Every structure is written in C-alpha cells, then in structure tokens.
C-alpha cells in the first residue's frame, strides 16, 4: 500500500524549532518530488515547500522567509521539514504529499496524488 506517515508535531514556544518527518512506503520514494502543505485551524490549504527527487530543486512559499528548510533522505524514504523561529501563525496541520506527473504523449500534468494524515504543530507560549 502506498502510504505517507508524518511525525514530529507538537507544542512549541514562539521562537522555537521543530523538525517534522514524513516516511514513505509502498513506492520508489527517490523518483518522486515531495511537498509540504499546511492548514491552519479552520482555514484553507497553503503550499509550504517542494523538493525534487535528488534534492537538486527546492522551492518555498513566500511567507516562510528563510525560516523553514526542506530535505530528504532517499535511503530512508523520508522527507523532513526543519522549522525555526516559529511564530503563532505557523500553527497548523502539516501534510506531506507526493507529487506525481501524469505524462501522456505530449503533456505532463502534475498534482499531489498521495497525502499523509498530517501532524499538528502548535506554536504558543
């Protein structure tokens, strides 16, 4: 079964740090780009970051301003998000998601086809 399982969430004080992990199974982890998406309580989805299979391409959402770092360990089929200088507005459920390209003859659309169950991060004093 194709699966993503996040861990590492919890309660942290403003200015603190937290490292999230996402373990993939049931697929060849290294060939897929991976993403983090977050959702504040009662709010919509916000894309956080993406990383290519070999970690050569990394992108971040504009609101993160260098505080978050995405990484991966393909040998462990794992994705990570290092979050520093956390703020109250970072409080959210953090999902990891697999990015798949659905290639046909002349087109290669992409979307997030597999999602983990999410891990809750609460930033509060």
CB count, 10 Å around CB of 90? 22
24 makes contact with other proteins (CB under 8 A): no
Q: Give the strand pairing for 18-25 and 10-12.
A: unpaired
Q: Which tokens belong to 60?
A: 């971040």
State how far the Cα of 114 lies from the Cα of 77, in Å rounded to an integer: 14
Q: Which tokens belong to 104?
A: 């046909």
8 makes contact with other proteins (CB under 8 A): no
Among 47, 67, 91, 120, contact with other proteins (rule: CB under 8 A): 47
Residues between 59 and 88 with contacts to other proteins, criterion CB under 8 A: 59-62
110 makes contact with other proteins (CB under 8 A): yes
Residues in contact with other proteins, total (CB under 8 A)?
Answer: 25
Residues that bind other proteins (CB under 8 A): 35, 37, 44-47, 50, 59-62, 95, 99, 102, 107-113, 115-118
């Amino acid at each position: 079964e194709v699966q993503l399982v996040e861990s590492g969430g919890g309660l942290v004080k403003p200015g603190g740090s937290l490292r999230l992990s996402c373990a993939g199974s049931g697929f060849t982890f290294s060939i897929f780009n991976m993403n983090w998406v977050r959702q504040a309580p009662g709010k919509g989805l916000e894309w956080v970051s993406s990383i290519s299979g070999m970690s050569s391409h990394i992108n971040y959402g504009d609101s993160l301003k260098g505080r978050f770092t995405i990484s991966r360990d393909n040998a462990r089929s794992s994705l990570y998000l290092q979050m520093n200088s956390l703020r109250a507005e970072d409080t959210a459920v953090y999902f990891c998601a697999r990015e798949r390209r659905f290639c046909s003859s002349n087109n290669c659309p992409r979307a997030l086809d597999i999602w983990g169950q999410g891990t809750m991060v609460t930033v509060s004093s």
